[in-house]
Structure formats: structure tokens, C-alpha cells
Amino acid sequence: MESSLQPSTPAFSIAIVNYKTADLTKICLDLLKKHIDAGLNAQVWVVDNNSQDESTAYLRSLDWIHLIVRDSDYAEKGFVAHGQGLDSIFEQINTDYVVLMHTDTFVYDASIFEQTIQTLQQHQHIAAMGCLEQLDRGLVRTTWRIVSRFFKRHSRRLRLWLGLPTKPPKPYLEAYIKSFFACWNVNIMRKYGYTFLMGNRNPGYELQDLLKAKGYTIGLISPRKLFKYLDHVEAGTVGLNAGYTEQNRRYKRKKSLLEKLGS
């Protein structure tokens, strides 16, 4: 594993994991660079998860980020690779707070960083802050989504009770903040020796359960508020690497955002 730059002590760190998303990564980092040039006191860390493509070359060309390149010796895939990438950053940072971001998260208004960190500073019982949803669906779509998922969950439970084949029922309400934009209190995590990848679950999910059991709170930012400051493609990195077609709604959203940004 190769690391570049020496750490300093800014107000907080930003942690991003890249895997073969050159166009998204460039927009994400270009926006962060503008905020840093305008005075954002942040240290940006990027892990490249053995992309071996133009995105790796692009990251190596930047002298203002802290780059960790994970080579072919690392064979993890999917959420495990992402979690290992986040933890490799977590091992290196020396700030009190870290903001997790995805390469398909585009922050237009940097004041969201300050607002979030100030909340954590003022309320020591809050271990992290983030959003339960990956995009702002609005009231109508959100309500429909909850209702439809409620009926799907209970119809599956009924089928199981009747002994009929079905998929496992899933919760109809989101329970965990998502890592496309989530701010964590580093000192609380280190107090208990916790990391982002635990319990063979999506990064941060087990962590949230463990911290809640310790009496900490996970602060919530509503989609309506959060998406005034940023955009998120939603599974943009997964979509690129899974080969979504042009008819896929996430592909269309990515294309629309890229056009909006003049890419």
C-alpha cells in the first residue's frame, strides 16, 4: 500500500474511496478543491482501490490530496473493499472528525461541512451525522416508497408463515445513515476501537448499532435540507462498474448531473 503526503492538522478530514470512476471522481474533487482554495480547512484523503485505469493516473497527478493506492495484493470486492479503503484512511488521519463521501457526491455549498461539525462539537453524545436517504425524493415519492415497502415486507412475512417461497422480508424504513455524506466523531470511534468495516456489513452499519448500544445518538440530516448543498448520483460508482444501460434511471440521473455541471 502506497501513501503520499504528510498529514497536517486541519479542522476535519474528508475520506473518499475511488474505484474506476474517473469522470465522477474528477468532478467531486474539482468541487472540493474550489472550496479548499476558498478557505475550507479540510484535509482530503483518497483511496484508490486498485483501479489501474485513468482514474489512478489522475489521482497521482494531484498534489493537494493525501493519496493511498491499494494495489493488486488486496482482493476484496464490493462493500468490503470500500470499507477496507475507508479504514485505511481512518488509520492515517489525526483530526477529530472525518466526513465520508462517495466519488459521486458533488458538494456545491461547503457550509454543510461546518454546520455538521459544529453540531457534533456542541453535542458530544452525537457520534455521527448523516442522511437515511441517498437522494431527495420529495414527500409524495417518499410516502409511496414507505407504503409500498411496508406492504411488500408484510406480504413476504405472510408467505413465509404459509410456507410459500419468497425473498426474506426487509425493513420498510431506512435505519442507517449512508456513507455518501456522513460526518463521524473520530475520538468516539477510537475510544472503543471501532472501525467502519465490522460485522461483515455495509461500512458504518455495525458501527451505528454498536454506538447506539453504548448510549450515543446518530444525528439525522433530512434529505430536503442536505440536498440544498450537494447532489448525489446514487449508486453512481456501482452503476458504472455494473454496466448500467442508458435506460437505467440511475444512469439517466448521472448523465443529467454531468450535463448540469458542464461535463
Q: According to the model, what pLDDT value does residue 3 have?
A: 45
Task: Give this prediction's pTM.
Answer: 0.81
Same-domain status, 162 and 105: no
Average pLDDT over residues 101-128: 96
Check residue 167 and give left, alpha or beta (phi > 0: left; psi -120 to 50: alpha). beta
Same-domain status, 188 and 162: no
* Residue-wise pLDDT tens digits, 183-234: 999 999 999 999 999 999 999 999 999 999 999 999 999 999 999 999 998 6
Same-domain status, 199 and 211: yes
Q: According to the model, what pLDDT value does residue 175 have?
A: 78
The percentage of the chain sitting over the pLDDT mark of 70, rounded to a whole number, equals 74
Give the phi and the psi of residue 43 in degrees, each rounded to 5. -110, 120
Q: According to the model, what pLDDT value does residue 195 have?
A: 97
Q: Which of 85-99, 132-146, 216-230, 248-262 has the lowest mean pLDDT?
A: 248-262
Decide: 157 and 106 in contact? Cβ < 8 Å: no
Average pLDDT over residues 138-155: 62
- The winner for highest mean pLDDT among 69-83, 124-138, 193-207, 231-245 is 193-207
Choice between 242 and 192, residue whose per-residue pLDDT is larger = 192
State yes or no: pLDDT of 256 exceeds 80: no
* Residue-wise pLDDT tens digits, 44-59: 999 999 888 999 999 9
Structural domain for 54, as ranges: 2-133+175-260
Which residues, in sequence order, are CB contacts of 73 under 8 Å at separation 6+?
none
- Separation of alpha carbons 109 and 24, rounded Å: 18
CA atoms within a 13 Å half-sphere pointing along the CA-CB vector of 101: 28
Same-domain status, 215 and 116: yes
Same-domain status, 149 and 181: no
Q: According to the model, what pLDDT value does residue 244 have?
A: 44
Q: Which of 66-80, 177-191, 238-252 has the lowest mean pLDDT?
A: 238-252
Same-domain status, 144 and 224: no
Give the phi and the psi of residue 3 in degrees, each rounded to 5. -125, 145
- Provide long-range contacts, Cβ within 8 A and 24+ apart, for 75-79: 79/201, 79/202, 79/203
Q: In residues, how long is the chain?
A: 263
Q: How many domains does the chain have?
A: 2
- Separation of alpha carbons 152 and 158, rounded Å: 10
Same-domain status, 75 and 145: no
Mean pLDDT of the chain: 84
Same-domain status, 21 and 151: no
Average pLDDT over residues 32-42: 96
The percentage of the chain sitting over the pLDDT mark of 90, rounded to a whole number, equals 62
State yes or no: pLDDT of 9 exceeds 70: no
Same-domain status, 99 and 188: yes
Q: According to the model, what pLDDT value does residue 128 have?
A: 98
Same-domain status, 210 and 91: yes
State yes or no: pLDDT of 20 exceeds 70: yes
Q: According to the model, what pLDDT value does residue 162 have?
A: 81
Pure H helices in the chain: 22-37, 54-60, 78-90, 111-122, 138-161, 186-191, 205-213, 223-226, 236-242, 249-260
Choice between 150 and 24, residue whose per-residue pLDDT is larger = 24
Q: Which of 7-21, 83-97, 167-181, 216-230 has the lowest mean pLDDT?
A: 167-181
Same-domain status, 210 and 241: yes
